Chain A
Amino acid sequence: AQSVTQLGSHVSVSEGALVLLRCNYSSSVPPYLFWYVQYPNQGLQLLLKYTSAATLVKGINGFEAEFKKSETSFHLTKPSAHMSDAAEYFCAALNNAGGTSEGKLTFGQGTILTVHP
C-alpha cells in the first residue's frame, strides 16, 4: 500500500529564511508526486508536480522540490520565506501502478508553515 509521510506537523521560520518541508513516500512503484498548498477555509492549490521527468521540479511562488529515489523523498524548499507563504502544505502521491487504486491520491498529514517577521 502506498503511504506519504510528512515529517513535522508544524514548521516555523523567519521571513527571508530557507523553507524546508519534508515528505517521504512509500510505494513499490515510484509514484507521481505533488505538493499542494491550502489556505484557511479554502481548497488545495497545486504548487508543483513530479511525473518522472526532471528530478528537480520548480513550481509557483518560488517553491521547488527534488525527487530522490534513493531516499524515497520529495522535500519542498524555498530559498527565502515570505509572510504570504504561511499556510498548510500537503504532499501527495498518485498511484499509477494500476489496480483499484489507480488514479487515487494519497495525502500526507500536512505541515503548517508559520512565517514570523
Chain B
Amino acid sequence: GAVVSQHPSRVICKSGTSVKIECRSLDFQATTMFWYRQFPKQSLMLMATSNEGSKATYEQGVEKDKFLINHASLTLSTLTVTSAHPEDSSFYICSARDPQGHNSPLHFGNGTRLTVT
C-alpha cells in the first residue's frame, strides 16, 4: 500500500532555532499533503494544506510565517518551524492522499516529536 515517510522521527532543538520536517510519498505522487499537530492526549489538529507548486493554505490561527511549508515536488513537502519556542513542542504528523480517488483515505507519516528546550 501507499507509504508516507516522515523524517526525523524525533528532534530536540534549542529555543530560537529552526527545525525542518520532511514528508515524502514513497510510491505515489501527492499533489496535496496535510500537516497536523497533536498535543498530548488530544486529537489531531489540521495546521495547513500543502499544495504542490503553490502556496500552502493555513487553518485559522496558524501562523504562516512561523510554520513555513514548501511543496516543491509531487513527492516531498517540508514543514519548517522557525524560531522555535518551548510552546511549539508537539507531535507533528503529515499525511498525503493517493490521488487515485478523491475518496481515498489519507496515508499518514509516523510523526515527528519536536522538543524545544
- Find out whether the CB atom of A32 lies under 8 angstroms from the CB atom of B103: yes
In the complex, are the beta carbons of B44 and A107 less than 8 A apart? yes
State whether B103 touches A90 (Cβ < 8 A): no
- Report the contact-size class of chain B (Cβ under 8 Å from the partner): 20 to 34
Give the Cβ gap from B25 to chain A, nearest Cβ, in Å. Answer: 13
Closest-CB distance, B19 to chain A (whole angstroms): 17
Residue of B nearest to A45 (CB): B108
The binding surface of chain B is classed by DSSP as strand
Q: Are B34 and A105 interface neighbours, CB within 8 A?
A: yes
Interface string of B77-109 (1 = CB under 8 A from A): 000000000000001010101000011011111
A105:B106 contact, CB within 8 angstroms: yes
Chain B neighbourhood of A103, CB < 8 A: 32, 49, 97, 102
8 smallest CB-CB distances across A and B, nearest first, come from: A43-B108, A44-B108, A43-B110, A51-B103, A107-B43, A43-B111, A107-B44, A109-B43
Binding site for B on A (CB under 8 A): 32, 34, 36, 41-46, 49, 51-52, 90, 94, 96, 103-105, 107-110
